[in-house]
Amino acid sequence: MSWLRTNTFHHGQFDPARLVEAKREQGLSVSLCIPTLNEERTVGKEVVIFIDELMRRHQLLDEIAVIDSGSADRTREVAAAFGADVYSAADILPAHGDNPGKGENLWKAIYQLRGDVIVYVDADIKNIHPRFVYGLLGPLLQDPEVGYVKAFYDRPLAEAGGTRPSGGGRVTEILVRPLFSLFFPELTAIVQPLSGEYAVRRSLLERLPFPICYGVETSHIIDVYHMAGMAAFAQTDLDRRVHTNQPTPALGRMAFRILQTFLKRVRSLGIVQELPDLGTLLRQFQVSDGRYEQVDWQITELERPPMIEVAEYQTLRAALRAAAATG
């Protein structure tokens, strides 16, 4: 398809210095959000690299913020010590309560951060590099029609005794890609729809509902596609991403949340006319002392509304516009 040719990029195509010029010419500000939960081992390195390379050397980022889900380790202290703005998700929009989950952090970041563009980068990347930011900003800064840029990369799979060069992205290949193939064939051109790194224009981001956990990336892709079509998407090859892989049972729980979100979307879009009430019980089994034990999980993928519908956000944005006008 032509979209693959015109809207797929490699990070090597983008020079950070030229992106800074494009950003200034367009009068845009850029915020980086790093959502965290117990990432003290890797978050400090990420913050240092992004501040040194993309705030001091190249003024591509105007803001670097960690939005934390209540880490039990020193994630917040480490991130703050290295220069990031650090916020607890529970303290943002407190009148709306707090939910555990990455999607919750991403949603609250829209209220807390100020950028015209928000870049999301996960906190667990062991081979972090500035390309994880500038590679995503490149398509946005060179094409005003692009509003949502996804990362893709080779994802080594950690195994006993070493790693396999490929093999990550298991939920994508086993669940999401087959579902997209059946219901949204054009979306199969997105190499890694569940990648945790993406850059989005605020004007688009604030219109999206947010599942509070693992359904967020799937819902975004379907919703953006429904709102603006494939032309709003781009994707950038970031070469390689190294992180700690989740065990299979955890991936099963992730897939359950994603499937809840997906079925909700196809029902709301009228693609599937009738669906029964969806169950919330996921039953898994684990072996203990040679015996299989049943483990039951009650899982409901709740959703936050589009931020543009939140009264506090409307008030905040109006105040910011008024302040900018009086300058």
Structural domain count of the chain:
1
Which residues, given as ranges, of the chain have pLDDT below 50?
159-164, 166
Contact indicator for 51, 82 with CB cutoff of 8 Å? yes
Q: Which amino acid is at 120?
A: Y
In which residue are the tokens 């996960």 written? 122
The DSSP code for 235 is: E
Residue 277 burial (CB count, 10 A) = 5
3-class DSSP state of 233 = strand
pLDDT at 1: 75
Q: Pairing mode, if any, of strands 233-240 and 148-154?
A: parallel
pLDDT at 183: 97
228-246 pLDDT tens trace:
999 999 999 999 999 777 8
pLDDT at 163: 45
Q: Please state, in angstroms and rounded to a whole number, the distance separating the CA atoms of residues 185 and 177.
A: 9
Q: How far is residue 297 CA from its own chain's centroid?
A: 24
Q: Which amino acid is at 185?
A: P
152-164 pLDDT tens trace:
999 775 544 444 4
Query: pTM here?
Result: 0.94
Name the token pair of 41: 């081992």
Q: Please state, in angstroms and rounded to a whole number, the distance separating the CA atoms of residues 282 and 271.
A: 25
Q: Please state, in angstroms and rounded to a whole number, the distance separating the CA atoms of residues 80 and 76.
A: 6
Contact indicator for 36, 66 with CB cutoff of 8 Å? yes
Name the token pair of 288: 């203990």
Q: Please state, in angstroms and rounded to a whole number, the distance separating the CA atoms of residues 59 and 18.
A: 11
What does each C-alpha distance from 145 to 36, 201, 202, 232, 312 come to in angstroms?
Answer: 31, 10, 13, 6, 29
Q: Please state, in angstroms and rounded to a whole number, the distance separating the CA atoms of residues 88 and 52.
A: 24
pLDDT at 157: 55
Q: What's the domain range around 322? A: 2-326
Name the token pair of 79: 């991130």
The CATH number for 287's domain is 3.90.550.10
Q: Which residues pair with 200 in a beta bridge?
A: 118, 148
